[in-house]
Structure 1
Amino acid sequence: MTTAQAFSASQLHRARLGVGLIFLTNGAAYASLVPRLPEVKADLELTNAMFGLAIAAFPAGAFASGLFAAVLIRRFGSPMVAWVGMALSMIAILAAAAAPSLAVFITAVFLAGCSDSVTDVAQNHHALRVQKHMGRSIINSYHAMWSVGALLGGALGAAAIATGLGRVPHLAIIAVLILVTATRGYRMMLPGPEPVEAEAAEAAHPEDVRTSWLRHPWLVLAALSLLAIAGATIEENAGTWATLYMSTELGVTGGLTAAAYVAAMGSHFLGRVSGDWLVNRLGQATMARLGGLLVVVGMGLAIAFPSPWLTVIGYACAGYGVATVVPSIFEAADAMPGFKPGTALMVTSLLLRIGFLASPPLLGLIADASSIRWALLVVPAAGLFVVALSGVLSSRRATSDVPVPASR
């Protein structure tokens, strides 16, 4: 068995911050474009169905490139893959903002999805590597940083609209900020080769490995992937439809059109800030079950009684409810034995993209046939699916954190 590489406490804390900066920029990148999507839809004269299909190019690109993520990580290392992926993502998003035609917009969004997919796997793989060395759950705090980025991206987009700043100048400024921040994060991440399978299994909770996965890891991985699809459907909805719903069907104007999206990202952040503490005390399964119920109740009421502020509250409930679902899935997948480093995580992340891929065109078709309001019923339906599948996650409860290793 290969001995795991040792790092000092200062190296681990520095790497934790570095990975957090990558998560921050990853959350901010696409979120910066979200408040501008109604403008893009209007400028390109798209129907709801055409708009949903165009947005689906992002998860389609992610699905197309996701198969290569684990190979790239083993070849170049997760820090390099995450940094290059972020740079390419932001270039593609800037191109999408400046797109003069539907074809160019779809191509740019597709390429942004390709880059985002490998960044997503790389950043989560490195985050879990840091977590294993630190010996305590910190994965939700990383995803909280992603939510901070999404919140900042959405808020800055709303501010840019309110001040009359054009799409291209706005996204160009964001691109520079993101590239500088991502470069700083890259330089702080852990050095050295990626851990081998033996190290990953040794660092995982041994009681989970022996009992939770039973004897069929591929069946459990399939169940985790289905749960990830449901979680992705909930997460994606705010980014694609919240702003459009507020502006076209609820009559909200100006920067306030992004209020529901910002509320979803803000509550998403709060859910992930409190996520490690709650998961350690309630277990992943219980947290997912309660979160799914919150999504059902919050969005169900918002759809039943449509109003701007009730919609904001509904999206806030959805954001908080789904906050710990995807991090829990990634942690569970990364701890599974019998796979090369990054493979189980890559498969889960790849299949998660089905939720992002299928949801926009499905909702677009429903919206064209009825309205966006009724199309949003997909969200509480996905919440029910999370409740039903939550049992596949660990019910383990941690009573205390393992201390950070002393400096060597």
Structure 2
Amino acid sequence: MATTRIAVAPELRRARLGVSLIFMTNGILLGNLAPRLPEIRDALELTYGGLGLAMAMWPIGSLGLGLAAGAVIRRFRSSRVAVAAMIICAFAMLLAGVADHVVVFGLALFMVGATDGFVDVAQNSHGLRVQRLYRRSINNAFHAMWSIGAVMGGLMGGVAAGLDIPVSWHFVGMTALVIALNVVSYPLLLKGPEPQETVERGEDEAGMPHSSRPRRIPARIWWILLALSMIAIAGAWAEDAAATWAASYLRDELSATATNAALGFVSLQGFQFVGRITGDRAIDRFGQRTVARAGGALVFVGMGLALAFPTVWGTIAGFGAAGIGIATLIPGAFHAADEMPGLKSGTGLTVVSWMLRLAFLASPPVVGAIADATSLRVGLMIMPIMGLIVVALAGVMEPRRLLRPDSAPSSPAAPSSPAAPSN
């Protein structure tokens, strides 16, 4: 039987575009950094382990100050927090690019992490708010825009490196672009504070609980949340391996040019974009469980073969296969956690989100230490291992994805809806 698609109000379409621009600029920042990391490491005279420790300052900043994101969003709205934090994050990344000492570089990355943590919560909060008003899944499309932004940034960084443009001048241009796009995005976002009925239940749409005492969570639910966290971590660690180490691996161990070395990260993000832009339909048809399991297998096979038979273009292809494989893992794990029965809305999302951020602390130092002791090729074995973990744990995800009946308003385009934005 044919389904009737409900008309979407123009203000919702504008809000979707605004959220997409914020996600995209968030990806542009990381994308521009990844291809220049080999040069930054050389300039600061760091070992792989030293770079890994410096990069760990990013998640430390996110964990250290990001806990305040929920309270700040409730006070100033997700739209304002997302845009303001994104602009501050761009300036912090500029400082990282011009740093002439590892301490300055580390402190700049700490501020990048802190502000990125605010952006992450706020942009997802506003994106979920828009999705609820749409009454259909659009969440993976937002994450796809992050991926396309990362591809844009990776290409910008790769071309700049190939043309020997100084990192400082390159990052000045990047900062100007990010600020301009965020200034454009703000008027497009939903007006008014976060939905009141969500606040009254004790949490906001960012999944950040209020200070009320949480109910006791059964052991079985904790196990499922842990498994979902590991699935999200697997996707994040594979993505971080490409962002932090792909350019160095291709340049240092496979003798790729500076521009070609950037293509490992670009390949992963480009194919991740393809996976995310098609992910909602794939999940609706086959279910999160099947898509996640197939994705884990693709990461294992793609990167396993690339590392077993190392060549420049084979490695770039392996990163691309991994990109498709991990495309829906983090959004899928977040969604499954947020839909956990028996939990207050937002509790599961909070648990998985913060376990994911905590795990980010370990990834760069672990791979860097392994690389110093052996080689980056061995350190990157973390990617196929993460793929196997996803295959093993994907059973905790739902075979089909359905929006909660109470998550959508009765009339998505009507201003009188309880979840509709107020002016």
> Would you say 1:162 and 2:162 are equivalent positions?
yes
Counterpart for residue 3 of structure 1: none
- Provide the C-alpha distance between the structure 1 equivalents of 2:12 and 2:173, rounded to a whole number of angstroms: 31
- Deviation of the 1:365 alpha carbon: 0.9
List gaps (5 residues or longer) in structure 1. Answer: 1-6, 205-212
Q: Is the 8 Å Cα contact of residues 63 and 358 (structure 2) preserved in structure 1?
A: yes
> Would you say 1:364 and 2:368 are equivalent positions?
yes
- Deviation of the 1:336 alpha carbon: 4.5
Deviation per residue, 1:124-176 (Å, 9 max, x gap): 11111111111111111000000010000010111112223211111111111
Q: How does 1:5-404 map to 2 (within 5 A)?
A: 9-195=9-195, 196-197=197-198, 217-336=221-340, 344-397=348-401
DSSP-derived class of the 2:18 partner = helix
Quick check: 226-235 or 132-141, which moved more? 226-235
Q: Is the 8 Å Cα contact of residues 44 and 101 (structure 2) preserved in structure 1?
A: yes
- Provide the C-alpha distance between the structure 2 equivalents of 1:18 and 1:114, rounded to a whole number of angstroms: 22
Quick check: 254-263 or 69-78, which moved more? 69-78
- Provide the C-alpha distance between the structure 2 equivalents of 1:278 and 1:199, rounded to a whole number of angstroms: 35
Deviation per residue, 1:22-55 (Å, 9 max, x gap): 1001111122111111011001111111111111
TM-score by length of 1: 0.89
Deviation per residue, 1:49-98 (Å, 9 max, x gap): 11111111111211222322222222221111111211111111100000
Quick check: 178-187 or 33-42, which moved more? 178-187
Pair 1:398–1:218, CA change in 2 (3 A): closer
Q: Is the 8 Å Cα contact of residues 238 and 260 (structure 1) preserved in structure 2?
A: yes
- Provide the C-alpha distance between the structure 2 equivalents of 1:278 and 1:261, rounded to a whole number of angstroms: 24
In structure 2, give the amino acid aligned to 1:235: E
Report how many aligned residue pairs link the two structures. Answer: 390
In structure 2, give the amino acid aligned to 1:262: V
- Provide the C-alpha distance between the structure 2 equivalents of 1:325 and 1:108, rounded to a whole number of angstroms: 29
In structure 1, give the amino acid aligned to 2:121: V
- Deviation of the 1:104 alpha carbon: 0.5
- Deviation of the 1:226 alpha carbon: 2.5
- Deviation of the 1:219 alpha carbon: 4.5
In structure 1, give the amino acid aligned to 2:226: A
Deviation per residue, 1:253-286 (Å, 9 max, x gap): 1311111111111001100011111011011111
Identity over the aligned pairs, expressed in percent? Answer: 47
Pair 1:347–1:84, CA change in 2 (3 A): farther
- Provide the C-alpha distance between the structure 2 equivalents of 1:200 and 1:383, rounded to a whole number of angstroms: 37
DSSP-derived class of the 1:314 partner = helix
- Provide the C-alpha distance between the structure 2 equivalents of 1:349 and 1:225, rounded to a whole number of angstroms: 8
Quick check: 37-46 or 224-233, which moved more? 224-233
RMSD, aligned CA: 2.5
- Provide the C-alpha distance between the structure 2 equivalents of 1:189 and 1:231, rounded to a whole number of angstroms: 29
Counterpart for residue 213 of structure 2: none
DSSP-derived class of the 1:256 partner = helix
Counterpart for residue 208 of structure 1: none
- Deviation of the 1:216 alpha carbon: 5.8
Quick check: 188-197 or 261-270, which moved more? 188-197
TM-score by length of 2: 0.86
- Provide the C-alpha distance between the structure 2 equivalents of 1:8 and 1:264, rounded to a whole number of angstroms: 33
Counterpart for residue 210 of structure 1: none
Deviation per residue, 1:189-235 (Å, 9 max, x gap): 1112212338989xx9xxxxxxxx99965543333223222221111
- Provide the C-alpha distance between the structure 2 equivalents of 1:342 and 1:93, rounded to a whole number of angstroms: 30
- Provide the C-alpha distance between the structure 1 equivalents of 2:393 and 2:292, rounded to a whole number of angstroms: 9
